[in-house]
Structure 1
C-alpha cells in the first residue's frame, strides 16, 4: 500500500492542534515524538519535535525565524544548506513512514516551507493531502496577544502570509479547508466531510475519545465575526479577500471555475504586497537581533555583576580575616607590652636596691676587704679565704 502523509497547514493559534487531534479520528498517526502539552496548549500540540527542529533550522538558513514576516522560500531553495537539510528530512520521513501507512504532520512553520518538504515527498513517491484550518484573523491575533504580546497589526500580517502560502501551495492539490469554529460546534459533521474529501475512514471509537479528551469549547477564548474583521483598523483588502475565500471554501461554496478566478485575484494581491512583507521581515530580523544582543548584554552584565559580587564577598572575607588577625596581634602586643612593663618595673626595683646597697654603711666598711680579696685572687693566693 502506498504511503500517505496528511499535512495540517495553518497559522499559529488558528486551530491546527485541534484539527490535527481530530484527524486521529480518521486514522492519521502523528507519531510518538510529539512536543509535550504546555499551559498555553494544555491538550497538546501534535507537533513532532524533530520536524519542528528541522523547520527552525530551515528558517535560520536565511537568518529568519517563525514569527518574522516576508520569509523567502524561493531564496531558501537555492541555498546549499537547504539541500543538506532536505537530506535529513528524507531520513526522518523514512523513519516515520517505516511502520506507518498514514502519517500526519503539523507545524505552523510548514505553510512557508512546503516547497522544501514536497520535493522530498515526491522523491519518496509519497502521496500527500492537506488540511487548512480557517479561523477569524482577529481571534488568532487575540490569542497571539495573550501568548506572545504581539500587536494586532503584525498578527494580521502573519496570518495573511501564512494562510496565503498554505492555500497557494495546497489549492491545486488534494485538500480540504475546515472552519475552526465549525469544528468546535459540529465536530461529527466536520469530520465526516474531511473523511470524504481526503479519502479516509471515520473511526467512531477514536471520535468518542476525541470528544472526551480533546474537544473543549472553553479553550476558545476569543471569537470574532466577519463584520468585526472588516471594521478593524488593521484590516486590509487583501486579507479580507483571502479570508472570505477561505471561509467559502470551508462551506463548499466555491466552484472550480470561481476558484481559479478568485485564486488569481488573491495571488495578484500577494504579489503587490510581497515587497512590503519582505521589508517588514527585514525589520523583524533586525529588531530580533537587536533584542537578542540586548539579552546577551544583560546576561554579560549580570555575569560580571555576579563575578564582582563574588570578588566583593571574597574581599570582605579577607578583610574580616585580616581584622581578626590584627586583633590577635594587638592582643599579643598588649601582652608583650605588659610583660615589658613588668620587666622594666623589676629592673627599676633591682637598680633601686643596688643603689641602696651601695649607699649602705656595711658596704663602705667592707670595701677594703673586697679590694684585698681581688688582689690576692689576681696572684692566685687566698683561694680558700
Structure 2
C-alpha cells in the first residue's frame, strides 16, 4: 500500500473494485451516503439489488464495448488481451471515456465509480484517470468465493467452477492493476457487520476524508444495510474442505481476508503474482476443457430448451384439456344441479297432483252432497210452494173476512147514526112528554133507553170478540208465513191495517158514547135514578 499527496484542486474518484455479487452495490451505496457523487445516468434497482445498483449505465455499456472490441465479455474468466492497450481502439475509447465521465459526473471533485468490469480493464482506466487529472482511490472488496459462485450458479446456471474462476480473475486483475495506488482492502462481511469500522479504516489508509459523517448519516446507512441483501451464505471453513476450490482461490481469499483485518502486506504481492502466473499458464488448458464443457452445456441447453418448449406445449395442451375438463365438470355439475332441480320439481308436481286428486275427490264429494242438498231444497221449495199457496188461500179468506168486517163495521156505524138520530128525535119527544107527562112514563122510557144501550154494548163486545178471534187467526197465519219473508211482511201489513180498523171502530164506539144524544139523555138518566132512589 502507498499514499500520495495531492493538491487541493485534484478530482477524487473512489473506485470500487470487486467481482460481481461481491457487495459492490452495497459499498457504493454507503460511499454515496458519505458524500460521494453518483453518476447522472444511474442504473435502476432490480430483483438482485432492490435497494439500488449505484452503477452508471453509460460506463457499463462502454466497458462492455471495450471487452467486446478485445474479443471478450463480462463473463469471460480469461485475461483481457494485453495488446489491446496499444491498439487504436485504446485512443478511441479514451476519448469516449472522457465524454462519459464529463456527462456522468460533470465537475464533481469527489465521486464514486463502480462497475465490476473495471477490474479487468485497469490499464485503460488508469490511463483515463491520468488524462482527466483524476486521483483514483481504490477500494478492493471481496466476498467468500463460494458464495459468489453459488449466487451465479443460481442466477446464471453456471457450474460452480466457472464462478470460482471468474472470481479469481477479477480479484487478481483488480489487485495487480491497482498496486501502488491509494487503496484499501475490505470485504462484504466486514461491511455488513461493521460499516463504520470499514469507513474509518478507508479514511486512515487512503488519507481521504468523507464530507458527510454524522449521527443522522449513520442512521441512514444502518437502514440501508441489511442482512436480507445477502442471499447466499457460506462459512469460510468450507473453502478448505471443498475439492472444487483450488489452492489459487483459497490462497487469494486468505490474503484478501488478512489485508482486510491487518492491512496490506507487500510480502503477499509475490504470492499473488505467483498465483496469477500459474493461473495464466494453465488457462489455455482450462479454456479447452471449459469450452468443450460449454459446448456440451450449450447443446444440453438447446436440447433442454427444445424439451422445455415441448413441455410447455404439452403443458399448454394439458392446461387446455384441464380447462376443458374443468368446463365439462362445471357442465356436469350444472346438469346434475338441473337434474336435481328437475327431480325436486317432479316431486313437487307429484305432490301437487296428489293434492289436486284429493281436492277433486273432495269437490266431487261436495258436489254430490250439494246435489243431494239441492234435491232436498227442491222438495222443500215444493212444500213451501204448497204452504205458500195455502197461505195465499187463507189470506184471501182473511181478506174476505176483513171485507165483511169492514162492511159490518160500516153497517154498525150507519145503524148507530140512524139510531142516534132516532134516539135524538125520541128524546126530544120524550123530554116534552116528561115535562108534561107523568113520572112513570119517564121512568119507563129511561129503562127502555138503558136496555137499548146495554144491547148496543153487548153488540160491541161481540164485535170485539170476533175481531180478537180474527186477530188470533191472523197471528197464526203470520207465524206460518214467517218462513217466507215477502209473505210475512204482507201479513204484518194486513195485521197492521186490521188493528188500525179496530182502532177506528173503538174510536167510533167511544164517539158514540161521547155523542151529544148520549150526553143530552144524561140528566134524564140522573132524574130517573133519583126518582128510583126516592121510591
Common fold by TM > 0.5: yes
- How far 1:244 moved relative to its partner? 0.7
Pair 1:143-2:151 in alignment:
yes
- How far 1:278 moved relative to its partner? 4.8
CA distance in 1, matches of 2:29, 2:289: 35
Note the 1:219-234 alignment, pairs <5 A.
Answer: 219-234=229-244
Structure with the higher fraction of residues in helix conformation: 2
- The structure having more radius of gyration, on CA atoms, is 2
Aligned-residue RMSD, C-alpha: 2.5
CA distance in 2, matches of 1:87, 1:123: 10
CA distance in 2, matches of 1:188, 1:261: 28
> Please, which of 248, 267, 271 is the counterpart of residue 265 of structure 1?
271
Moved more, 132-141 or 199-208: 199-208
Kept in 2: contact 1:73–1:113 (CA 8 A): no
- How far 1:283 moved relative to its partner? 7.0
CA distance in 2, matches of 1:60, 1:71: 13
Deviations 1:114-156 (A, max 9, x none): 1111101111221111011121101111111111112111111
- How far 1:73 moved relative to its partner? 4.1
> Match for residue 206 of structure 1?
217
- How far 1:158 moved relative to its partner? 0.7
Moved more, 23-32 or 83-92: 23-32
> Please, which of 247, 250, 253 is the counterpart of residue 260 of structure 2?
250
Kept in 1: contact 2:80–2:121 (CA 8 A): no
Secondary structure of 1:223 counterpart: coil
CA distance in 2, matches of 1:192, 1:278: 42
Cα 1:278–1:52 change in 2 (3 A) is farther
Kept in 2: contact 1:26–1:195 (CA 8 A): no
Which runs of at least 4 in structure 1 moved beyond 3 Å after TM superposition? 278-288
5+ long unaligned stretches in structure 1: 303-385
CA distance in 1, matches of 2:248, 2:116: 21
Cα 1:281–1:32 change in 2 (3 A) is farther
Cα 1:279–1:47 change in 2 (3 A) is farther
Kept in 2: contact 1:2–1:126 (CA 8 A): yes
> Match for residue 354 of structure 2?
none
Kept in 2: contact 1:130–1:174 (CA 8 A): yes
Kept in 1: contact 2:40–2:103 (CA 8 A): no
- How far 1:281 moved relative to its partner? 5.1
CA distance in 2, matches of 1:54, 1:210: 30
Note the 1:291-330 alignment, pairs <5 A.
Answer: none
Cα 1:99–1:284 change in 2 (3 A) is farther
Pair 1:274-2:280 in alignment:
yes
- TM (normalized to structure 2)? 0.51
CA distance in 2, matches of 1:270, 1:164: 7
CA distance in 2, matches of 1:14, 1:282: 28
Secondary structure of 2:42 counterpart: coil
Q: Which has the higher contact order (CA 8 A, sep 6+)?
A: 1
Kept in 2: contact 1:35–1:47 (CA 8 A): yes
Equivalenced residue count is 292
> Match for residue 238 of structure 1?
248
Cα 1:291–1:53 change in 2 (3 A) is farther
- How far 1:275 moved relative to its partner? 3.2
Pair 1:34-2:45 in alignment:
no
> Please, which of 44, 51, 58 is the counterpart of residue 43 of structure 1?
51
> Match for residue 215 of structure 1?
225
> Match for residue 106 of structure 2?
98
> Match for residue 12 of structure 1?
20
Kept in 1: contact 2:43–2:57 (CA 8 A): yes
5+ long unaligned stretches in structure 2: 1-8, 310-535
> Match for residue 413 of structure 2?
none
